[in-house]
Structure 1
């Protein structure tokens, strides 16, 4: 069962701009629908959506030797609410695409679409009614780098969940996103023998590439503790840092909605663990260059 019941129906029409024949487009829509239904999403494949249906808009981009499928969630007013993309497919395979290929792509994409739907629903339920038409803020998660063990993947996954609690819709593509987030992790020897210091910097940028601020976390842990699995440490670190990310965005005068009434998107772990110290948002610089901020985020358009 979904963590948040969806008060909508999702229509998946055959995609006319996916570089497919009519028969292939219909098969693709069916595959996406079945994959969403397996995620408990009320989805239907149809070429005639109802007026209040939300849509999964599917397109495909020819990138030379490969084709990349793209997906957008459109609300009942046909306004984009979130976007994601699939893995590239060799051009020859796409031209001869069959149900097996469509099912593989759909199974990879359906969990992403479902998570974004849940985040949108949570954000809409907790947003000021006067600003509902704008929808929840959309954030492009560029990823985490520098962490040992499984830290890069685990921190990114836990941060996606926690930002959903804060009212953000987190995307893996820049399309339509107003903000970008990336994290740099450094683990270095601390003073005492057998102790390491871990520092995590969550860097929040605006769509035009200007750095808005940083959320910095530091703590000391036994040496080698993070060499393999981060586990609960990643959960607690992301839980602390997500509030700081929200504060940075709020300071940019585009605050995400409060989430006091929003149900959680993921259950917390059963046992607490040591984690980097509580996050503190760094003040937004007057210019990105003042902090040596990153260049414009790749793919933002």
Structure 2
């Protein structure tokens, strides 16, 4: 998704820039270089219901670690996690394989965990251990806290205008998670020491039956003054919006979080504090 970042008013206006990591071939909305996500296949050797429930538990554990996870279909860059029950030895185990594209090639890692019985309470600890092993393999080290240099400010994501309420809530949740992945402090309520992030989505007709989606973000201090803004845009089809909004929202959020991190690095501390009130 094309990204432009601008500091507000009294700051010298830099040339709009596009970080190298955003210059990708194909549709940037549907690409996620470092967080392509994991598609979980049902474990072989289990009953269909048990395998499906375990897949759901692993997906939930991965999402808690801010790793996109899917149990039906991923995207073109998703890794694939498959497993098979191994009953050799005294204790049944699951032999997991984390692969690129499919189980037949591009193997990245092997993970071994205990195999659960039919009891659902056994799923969560196994899923948590599996997710932890995957996170250790694919997540990059956490970045330093970028808000530490600006007096430990929190970022508050205001409700996003433009899309329907449910779609807005999905994007807001995804952005909060993506900002935390960038080691930024996020508050779910507006605090005295918060900076607000306001977002707005617009859809306009574009070529070949597509829609031009533009997403505008602004960073505001507590008196409402804008400190800087960034914009994203890309063409999408109505079918993608209806069918793939959670995945699209995740892509928007990841790119926006990187842009907001860059923007915060450029805002001087003296611009953040409102001037003292007189008398």
TM-score, scaled relative to structure 1: 0.38
| Higher helix residue share | 2
Structure with greater Cα Rg: 2
TM-score, scaled relative to structure 2: 0.41
